[in-house]
Every structure is written in structure tokens, then in C-alpha cells.
Structure 1
Amino acid sequence: MNLFKSRPLHLGTLIEDYADRRQRTKFILSRPFDIAPEAGTEHDIDSMAELVRSAAGWLHAAGATPGRRVAIVKDNHWDYVILASAAARLGAVPAMLSYRLPPEVLQKLLKRLDPAVLVTTERMLSAGSEVGVDLASAASGVVTLDESAGGALSLKDVQGAPTPPRRLSAPDEPMLITHTSGTTGDPKLVVHSSTTIMRYLGRTESIRWPVLGMSRSDTVAISSAFAHMRIMTWTQAVLRRQPRKVLLMDEADPESAERVFRVHRPSHVEALPAGYLKWESLTGEADSVFSNVRLYANTFDAVHPPTVRRFLDASRRSFPVWLQGLGQSETGPYTIRPMTRRTMAKQGNRHPTTRNVGLPAPGFMAAKVVDPETLRPVPAGQTGVFMVRTPGRCINYLGEEDRWRSKTQGKWWNTGDLGVRNRFGVLRLLDREVDVIPGMSCLELEDVLDDRLPEVIEVVVIGCPGRPPLPVVCTEDGELDEAAWREATRDLPEMAEPTVLTWDEVPRTGTGKVRRFQLRDRLLGATETFGTGKWT
């Protein structure tokens, strides 16, 4: 069976080709698209395809041409995908950047991109100006989606421009640029082709997996970081699998989720770990909006055991499943692991289950654990660095080719994730290599503490040579019960006295991950780590 037969294999034609097939999915938005505020909150595939054609016309009018780059940095919403598809339709290379990046970091990335067109908002340009950063100067042309800014074109200036003919990039040429989360420094610009994303990474999700895949009867909800590569493979799966409804949530806001999910009960939900934390207040209701969910999924980061447990219990289905994936922007997901109420039943264990990240996707991914020094495979049960092999590996880091090459070994990719593999091939994640603390797993300690302290939102353990590990505890009010802390840590390795912060006081990436380097520098005044950081 040819799994690629008659499947659209380019971002520039993806939405239009599925419109030609009379796809019947209804798209429900938490708020209107920024590129079409007048179009409301309900779309079908035909209106999406028309938006792609229209956007291609005005991007071309703004100066986008084949082979040049189009940078997109705007408020979080799925119309990132529409803009990227429109740019790719022209033969240009879209670069999707998170609006949560600091202006100074955005400026660095834009300089590296040298875009022909920057699609952004006046608010983004103003935020840069307030700290002395001129974002608009990085591009030949600038289009703002909200209001016109000095020297920039507004959306009204370019709307209605004729749509030029399709000019698609070749299969192995750059087709899309996204960026890494940036937990260990400035994000890297990850370059993918239509071969790596459309042909391979989208393939695993497009298959009709039993239980774990989307079905035509599903109402699928997603709240994600839409500027990241993950959304491309998810979009491909949605268009191919054709669920009944798709709920596109621009932010993980509990009020928006209550409003949309109360009317359109989701059966398949994907969100960032930080998003699930925000939604936890909705799980305790007798008639929870998650009562019909059969499958939850999380990406970008591992999720803590109590969160998984609360959402599985919120479902009224007899056998709801939580699907956890471990992956990177460079490789896509490289392991998958389903969890159920039974697997999550034990609470407060010294070795929690969510760090068991499962097996590589059979037939699509391969993984091995290697010695960090020699890069030779280590025996089962011995700690090492995860290396993965996938045809969907990114083709470069823009402007950092040497850094990309340093992480490759033939067809293998060094993830920088540290862990062990058991004799059945199941992987257990311990830490990022750069964050490692000898003799312990920071991630495991964080899971244990989060499980034992219900009042805690999140725990982050950071290490610095010459000092005991520092636990940073996030609570709603910045307070922590000392007696409860002592009881929770009674059998754990020695740590320093905890620093207690609120959620907003912890520096985070656009996907909600903790910026550990920045946190270490702020609290300890140091950047030294036990790890080498070779593969960050």
C-alpha cells in the first residue's frame, strides 16, 4: 500500500487540495482570525482555501517572491498556518516566529532570516520600540494586521491584490522555517522541506491508528503554540482524517474553553502542558466540558502526573487515554506512550510513571541510547543520551550549519535528552543533558513533588556546581507550607531550601516551558551547569 498516493505533499497546496476533495470538517474558532476579523468564528475548508489564495495575493503585493523568506510574528492563532501556506504557494519560504519572544531575540532571528516581508502587528512593533528595538528595519516590506504603523503597509493596503500562479519549492528544498523553544538560550531556526514534514512527519498522524488516531466522528480541540512546527503535522492529520468538527483555541483561557467546549463537546483534545494547568479548574465540575473526551494529547514538554489524573477522571468515557509524545522541532515526535487511569492510579511514588516516554513510532522512528563521550550504544539500564533516526529530520539550522552538523552522526540525530532504555526498548527520560545534576533526575523530582503537594502548580529543580540543587516552587499566592514541604521531601535527595514564586514570576518560553538558564542566572547569579551543553 502506498501511504503517499494521491496525498498533497506541499504546504503551498495543502488546504486548497483538500478543498478540491470536498472535505466536510467544520472549523470553530475561539475568536476570529487576525487576517480575517470580519469572517467570524465558523469556517469550512472552502473558506480556508479562499483565505490562502487571498493572502498569497497580498503577500505578493507586499514583496514576497520565490526563494525569499516571509517572516510571520503575530498573536497566537491558527491563521499562522494560512499565512505560511500562502507564502509557500508563492514559492517563498515562510518563517513562523512566536509573538512571545522578547524583542531583542526577535531582532536577532529576523536579522538571520533577512525576510522580504514581515507580517506582524503594530503592537509588536511598538513593544520593540519601547525597548529600543526596530523590528521593522529587518525586512524589505512590512505588513501590519491590526493598525498601520509608520512606513508599514496595513492589511487594507494589500487586500484585494490578484493571486499569482503557484510556484512551489522542490521536495528537498527549504519549505518552512520554525524555531525551537529556546529553553537553553536563543531559539534555533529549524529548516524543513516538504519531504521532511509533509511526506514523513505528517505520515504517522495521518494513519488511522486504532484508539490513538482521529476519526470522522471526533470533535477535535487544540490549544497550542501555532508558530511551532508541531502544528503543521497536526494540520495535515486533521485534513486527511476529516473529523466532524475542529475547535481552534487561540489561548488556553478557561473562560474561552468553557464557552466553546460547552457547546461543542470535544472528544479529542491536544494542549500544551501549561494549557492543561490553566484548564484544571474546569475538571472538577459535575458536568465537566471534558466529559466526552476519549483521547488527550500533550506535546512540547512532559506533563505532571496529577494533571493527567485529573483530566482522565473528568471524562465520563469508560476508557479515556492520555497520549504523551516526546519530540523536538528538528525531528517531530520520536516516542509515544499512552496512559490510562490504571497506569496513573498510584500516587506519590518515588519514581512516577510519566517519565516513561514509551517506544519509538514503529516503522517511522528508531532510537538508541549512547555514551555522551564516545557516542557508542550503552547497555539496557545504563544512562546515556538519546539519539534518533528519522527521515523527517530537519535539513539545517538557518545561519548555524556547524551547530546542526555537530548534532548529526550519519542518519542519527543527537537529541540532547538524557535517559535510559530498558530491555524491551522503552525509554525513560531523566533530564536534558545540559540540565543534569549528578546522582539524580531533576525531572523525576519535579514530578514527585508536584504529585505530593496538591497546592503546588509546578516545581523546577535547577543545579549549579558547588551548590545543592535549588527547588523553585510555583504556587498561586507565592506561599508554601513548610511542614508539608518537609513531609514531601523526606525520602528525596538533599536540596537547598525552596524558593517560592508565583507562575508569572518564572521566565517561560512561548510554549510555557521554563527558561532554566535564565532562572538559574536570576536566582543563583550563575550560568555554570554540570552538563556540557554540547547538543543544545
Structure 2
Amino acid sequence: MTPLNKPIHLGTLFDDMAARGSTTAVRLSRPLDIAPEAGVELDVPSVSSLVRRAAGWFAEAGVRSGDRVAIVKRNHWDYVLLSCAAARLGAVPASLSAHLAPRTLETLLRRLDPALLVTDTALLRGARDAGHDPSAHAARTLVVDGTVEGALSLGDVRGGTAPPPRRPHLDAPLAIMHTSGTTGVPKLVVHSTRTIMRRLAGFESHRWPILGSRRDDTVASSISFAHGRALAWTAGVLWLFPEAISVITAPDWDEAGPALRLHRPTTLEAQPSTLVRWQRHLDERGEGLRRVRLFISTFDAVHPSTVRAFLNASERRAPVWMQGWGQSETGPLTFRFLTRRSLSRRQGPGPTTRDLGRPIPGRTRLRAVDPATLLPVPPGTPGLLFCRTDALCPGYVGEEGRWRDKLVGQWWSTGDIGSIDRTGAVRLVDREVDALAEGGCLEIEDVVDERLPQVLECVVLGVADGPPVPVVATEDGTLDPGVWKEAVVDLPTMADPVVLTWDDLPRTGTGKVRRAALRESLGLPSRTRATGRWT
């Protein structure tokens, strides 16, 4: 495998694509924070030039090979460009979401001990106002969009010349990203060139039927670009020379709607929480989705009603929804295609998206085991899901013991409860840490979503002694008690619902509900029926 036929080298990714004659247009919903003067229409050679300039900034700021560069700023695709710039110097970029609480960010920065913190004025000032100064945990701090006392600005480092690119060993640390942190402080996941570039981006750089980007595609993405998914997506998609990529940086319809209507994607990947926010706008201004042939959802569970709404918004004869399941540590483990027809079938109380498909052939293996004995359970029996994959991250920063504890031989604990039938199909029940005595959180949440369209989000929280507590978000923070009781009459016994608005739910950078934070805000005990051993 060489750079001529697969994206391998993160630091020279855009150089390599420009050398291959890429004609892909890069279209942004707003200008890059690190280069607002470049506008919203770029091409691969200009992006390549920007990465080289950014590498020069870092070199001027004192970054050397082997250093860590922490990146935490407002969400945008320039997370990827800054990561490439750091990797070009032989440094290791660590992408941290701006959604992290100041105290959590402080904890992660202590573990990283970065030579350089790259941030923006709003985040740095906001953290300082909250009594947490992230710049105190880095040798130097660079602000990309202005000036802040005690930090370098771009004006201080412009003109720096980057040395020739350095290419790390295949198994050396290449990039660091964090897990979602729904149950506490996120873990810092280390990936290597072998795992994230060869295994993950390399897989996406094939012209697979349905999944592979085509030369006439406009490929849109609206995700957290601090997530490792952004690196694999950028490398894998652009390597196939689509006509354009469209980057949407915020879930707000005021930004996303015009971008979708202007660039009219043919494939669209977005976080499930983003899709839920867009769903209510499909009837009024959904024409931007008429050309979509492929929808992709990762990061979190997605409800059948959301899948159905977006498939119906496309005017393609047979649009497809690809639902992927995996983790930051592993990349995708299974995938499943959903269609209008498959969503019309009833499965139990209603259609479900908890059937996750089968392991990726030749790349992943799965087994379900008894959580107490770790022995395999019979087909179709729920158990703790373990995986084997060559894309497994080589460790956690500052928590090496925690990483090793999740390995049993060569099998890695996903921390999810699910079943595997005789054909290898996986059905997800819950995260082990969220497990209930009766039924599963995800199934209950699916049914509520299907039966109560006015509920924007339902989160079921288990408690150690007593029935689980459902938390539902509606537009105005109200819900008729009689309507609720009628909808859940055949479901496992639950406490009366706590009704909030969408904005009341604490979320991660990828839109997941931070269940531990929600539990704390409601005054619920932290102890549940689960062990929490595998988080």
C-alpha cells in the first residue's frame, strides 16, 4: 500500500491529493476560523497551501517532532487542517471539543501536557471567566481569531517556515481524540497511522457499491470535526475525487438550511441529534435533500421516525440509509442499510433501528458473553459485546491501565449489551452502564419516539432501587400526562416523566445526551443496577 493508491500520510494528505490532480471543490457553510479571508469556496491545492502555512505557524511557535498539539475551538473543518499541520511536523494533534466543560477540559489538558494549545478567543476567555485557564496546562497557547493576554496570535507566528514533512512509524501515535464522555470525563484515544489511516480511511477510499463516493457526488457532512471520524471522512472521501464536499459546521437550521439548498448534496452524513433538529424543517424547506441517494448516521442511536422522514424527503427512487455502529477506539464494527420498505415493517412494538447489521466482512469479529463469567452466550441471548479489529486504538493517554482492563485476550469490550443471532446479525439492547432490570433504554426510547411525535428526545435513566426515570424533551417543556400514560401502557413500569425542553438536555460535542450530568442535575443517585466496569 503506497500513498499513490491510498491515503496514508496525515501530514501530507492534501499535498498527495493535489499531486494526483484532485478537482474536488470544498464548499463551507461559513469561512474557516483560521483563514476567514479564503471565503467559502476552496479547492484542494489551496487547502494544501493552508496546511503548509499552518505547519509554519506551529514551527514558529516552537512545536517540534514528538510534541503534542491540543486543538480546542469552535466547531469547523479546520480541526482537520490543523491536525494535518501538526502531523506534518511529526507532532501529535489532540482534538478536543469546545463543548467540554472547563473543568473537564482542564483534566484532559493535564493528561496531554501539550507543547501548544490552539484555541479561539471565546473559549479561552470563557474558561478563564469560569475560573479555569486552559493555557496554564500548555507550554504555549496560540489563539487563531484575535488576541488574548498571555497567548500568541496568528500575527505573532505568520511567516514561519515549516521544515520538510516528517512521517511517523506506522504504529507510532499519530492523532488523539476523545470519547463522547456521556458517563463522565472522556477518555483520550490514541490512534496510529496504521489504525486510522490504513484501516479506517483506507477502507473508505474504496469505491464500494452504494457507500463509495462517486465522481458526480456532492458529499455533505455535519458532524463534530473534533471527532476522529472527521480525519477518516476527509481522507477517505476526498481520495475518491467527488465533485464537491460540503461542510456544515453547526446544527442550527439557519446555517444548515441555506447550505443544503445551495449545494444540494447527493450523500449526507450528520449526527443523529442534528438530524432530529433538522427533521422539523423538512416539510417547509426540505428541498435541499431531494438529490440525496445515501444518508449516513453514526455516533449515536437514531430513531426510526427520523430515518423515515429523511428517506421520504429524497426524491430518489430508492434512497438508502446506512446506519453504522462502532466506537472512537475501534472505528465502525457493523453497518446496516435501511430503506423506506424496511422501515415499514413492524418488529416488536414497532420498527427498530437497534438491529445493527453484521460485522464488516474480513475486518471485524464480534461475540456476546455473560457479563459475570465472560463465557459466550447462546445465539440470540443478550450479553456483553466484545470485538476484534485491526483498527483498535493502541491506548488511552494517561489511563493505560483502563485501556488494558477492557481487553480480554485479544477481545475488546465495547461496553454495550446486545445479542448476536445465528446469522451474525447484531441487535443492540443498551450500554452496560445504562442497563435496566426489565427491558432496555433504547427500545423504550424508540417506542416513545414512534408513538409521541411531539417528544423531541426521550432519555430513560435507570436507578438502583425503583423504576427507571424517563426524561422527555418537548418544544415547550410540557406534555399531557394522560397522553404519556396511554403511550407507555404496555411498556415496563417507569416513574412519571420529567419534561424538559431540548436545550435543557446536557450534550456532548457529538450531540449525545450526557446521561451522568443529566442524572446529577435531576438529583438522581449516581448508583444504578449496572457495574460500570466497561466504561
Specify if TM > 0.5.
yes
What percent identity do the matched residue pairs reach? Answer: 53
Take 1:496 and 1:287, find their aligned partners in 2: how far apart are those partners?
Answer: 37
Give the equivalent residue in structure 1 for 2:496.
497
Take 1:220 and 1:17, find their aligned partners in 2: how far apart are those partners?
Answer: 20
Take 1:523 and 1:468, find their aligned partners in 2: how far apart are those partners?
Answer: 15
Take 1:375 and 1:52, find their aligned partners in 2: how far apart are those partners?
Answer: 47
Give the equivalent residue in structure 2 for 1:214.
213
The yes-or-no answer on 1:512 pairing with 2:511 is: yes
Matches within 5 A, 1:107-256: 107-256=106-255
Take 2:443 and 2:240, find their aligned partners in 1: how far apart are those partners?
Answer: 36
Give the equivalent residue in structure 1 for 2:21.
22
Matches within 5 A, 1:34-49: 34-49=33-48
Following superposition, the deviation at residue 3 of structure 1 comes to 9.0
The one-character-per-residue Cα deviations of 1:330-351 (angstroms, maximum 9, x if unpaired) are 0001110110001111479515
Q: 1:497 to 1:43 in 2, by over 3 A?
A: same
Take 2:90 and 2:384, find their aligned partners in 1: how far apart are those partners?
Answer: 38
Give the equivalent residue in structure 2 for 1:350.
349
The yes-or-no answer on 1:363 pairing with 2:367 is: no
Matches within 5 A, 1:296-335: 296-335=295-334
Q: Is the 8 A contact 1:56 1:87 kept in 2?
A: yes
Following superposition, the deviation at residue 4 of structure 1 comes to 7.7
The one-character-per-residue Cα deviations of 1:72-94 (angstroms, maximum 9, x if unpaired) are 00110000000000000000000
Which stretch of structure 1 is more off in the superposition, 518-527 or 184-193?
A: 518-527
Q: Is the 8 A contact 2:7 2:201 kept in 1?
A: no
Take 2:2 and 2:315, find their aligned partners in 1: how far apart are those partners?
Answer: 35
Following superposition, the deviation at residue 525 of structure 1 comes to 3.1
Q: 1:295 to 1:140 in 2, by over 3 A?
A: same
Give the equivalent residue in structure 2 for 1:12.
11
Following superposition, the deviation at residue 256 of structure 1 comes to 1.9
Give the equivalent residue in structure 1 for 2:82.
83
Q: 1:377 to 1:46 in 2, by over 3 A?
A: same
Take 2:26 and 2:340, find their aligned partners in 1: how far apart are those partners?
Answer: 31
For 1:449, the aligned partner's letter is V
Give the equivalent residue in structure 2 for 1:481.
480
Give the equivalent residue in structure 2 for 1:427.
426
Which stretch of structure 1 is more off in the superposition, 290-299 or 479-488?
A: 479-488
Take 1:36 and 1:160, find their aligned partners in 2: how far apart are those partners?
Answer: 14
For 1:355, the aligned partner's letter is R
Q: Is the 8 A contact 1:351 1:444 kept in 2?
A: no
Q: Is the 8 A contact 1:97 1:178 kept in 2?
A: yes
Q: 1:349 to 1:373 in 2, by over 3 A?
A: closer
Take 2:30 and 2:524, find their aligned partners in 1: how far apart are those partners?
Answer: 42
Take 2:214 and 2:363, find their aligned partners in 1: how far apart are those partners?
Answer: 21
Q: Is the 8 A contact 1:282 1:288 kept in 2?
A: no
Following superposition, the deviation at residue 194 of structure 1 comes to 0.2
Take 2:453 and 2:511, find their aligned partners in 1: how far apart are those partners?
Answer: 20
Following superposition, the deviation at residue 204 of structure 1 comes to 2.3
Q: Is the 8 A contact 1:283 1:289 kept in 2?
A: no
Which structure 1 segments of 5+ residues have no match? none
The yes-or-no answer on 1:410 pairing with 2:409 is: yes
Take 1:251 and 1:286, find their aligned partners in 2: how far apart are those partners?
Answer: 17
Q: 1:278 to 1:447 in 2, by over 3 A?
A: same
CA RMSD of aligned residues (A): 1.4
Take 2:512 and 2:501, find their aligned partners in 1: how far apart are those partners?
Answer: 15
Q: Is the 8 A contact 1:69 1:95 kept in 2?
A: yes
For 1:143, the aligned partner's letter is L
The yes-or-no answer on 1:281 pairing with 2:274 is: no
Take 1:230 and 1:254, find their aligned partners in 2: how far apart are those partners?
Answer: 22
Following superposition, the deviation at residue 521 of structure 1 comes to 2.2
Q: Is the 8 A contact 1:252 1:275 kept in 2?
A: yes
Take 2:373 and 2:350, find their aligned partners in 1: how far apart are those partners?
Answer: 29
The one-character-per-residue Cα deviations of 1:302-350 (angstroms, maximum 9, x if unpaired) are 1011111100010110100111101100000111011000111147951
Which structure 2 segments of 5+ residues have no match? none
TM-score by length of 2: 0.98
For 1:188, the aligned partner's letter is K
Take 1:292 and 1:81, find their aligned partners in 2: how far apart are those partners?
Answer: 27
Give the equivalent residue in structure 2 for 1:97.
96
Take 1:141 and 1:439, find their aligned partners in 2: how far apart are those partners?
Answer: 52
Q: Is the 8 A contact 1:460 1:472 kept in 2?
A: yes
Matches within 5 A, 1:439-478: 439-478=438-477
| Residues paired across the two proteins, number | 535
Q: Is the 8 A contact 2:2 2:8 kept in 1?
A: no
Q: Is the 8 A contact 2:257 2:285 kept in 1?
A: no
For 2:39, the aligned partner's letter is G
Take 1:119 and 1:64, find their aligned partners in 2: how far apart are those partners?
Answer: 12
For 1:332, the aligned partner's letter is G
For 1:399, the aligned partner's letter is G
Take 1:4 and 1:353, find their aligned partners in 2: how far apart are those partners?
Answer: 41
Take 2:292 and 2:85, find their aligned partners in 1: how far apart are those partners?
Answer: 33
Give the secondary-structure state (helix, strand or coil) at the position aligned to 1:142: strand
The one-character-per-residue Cα deviations of 1:173-196 (angstroms, maximum 9, x if unpaired) are 101000000001100000010001
For 1:293, the aligned partner's letter is V
TM-score by length of 1: 0.98
For 1:407, the aligned partner's letter is K
Give the secondary-structure state (helix, strand or coil) at the position aligned to 1:169: coil
Give the equivalent residue in structure 2 for 1:269.
268
Q: Is the 8 A contact 1:216 1:243 kept in 2?
A: yes
Following superposition, the deviation at residue 499 of structure 1 comes to 0.5
Following superposition, the deviation at residue 258 of structure 1 comes to 2.1
Take 1:29 and 1:301, find their aligned partners in 2: how far apart are those partners?
Answer: 25
Q: Is the 8 A contact 2:180 2:508 kept in 1?
A: yes
Q: Is the 8 A contact 2:204 2:212 kept in 1?
A: yes
Q: Is the 8 A contact 1:30 1:247 kept in 2?
A: yes
Give the secondary-structure state (helix, strand or coil) at the position aligned to 1:35: coil
Give the secondary-structure state (helix, strand or coil) at the position aligned to 2:448: helix
The one-character-per-residue Cα deviations of 1:377-411 (angstroms, maximum 9, x if unpaired) are 21101110111111110010001000000011232
Give the equivalent residue in structure 2 for 1:338.
337
Take 1:482 and 1:5, find their aligned partners in 2: how far apart are those partners?
Answer: 62
Give the secondary-structure state (helix, strand or coil) at the position aligned to 1:425: coil
Give the secondary-structure state (helix, strand or coil) at the position aligned to 1:334: strand
Give the secondary-structure state (helix, strand or coil) at the position aligned to 1:80: helix
Q: Is the 8 A contact 1:415 1:535 kept in 2?
A: yes
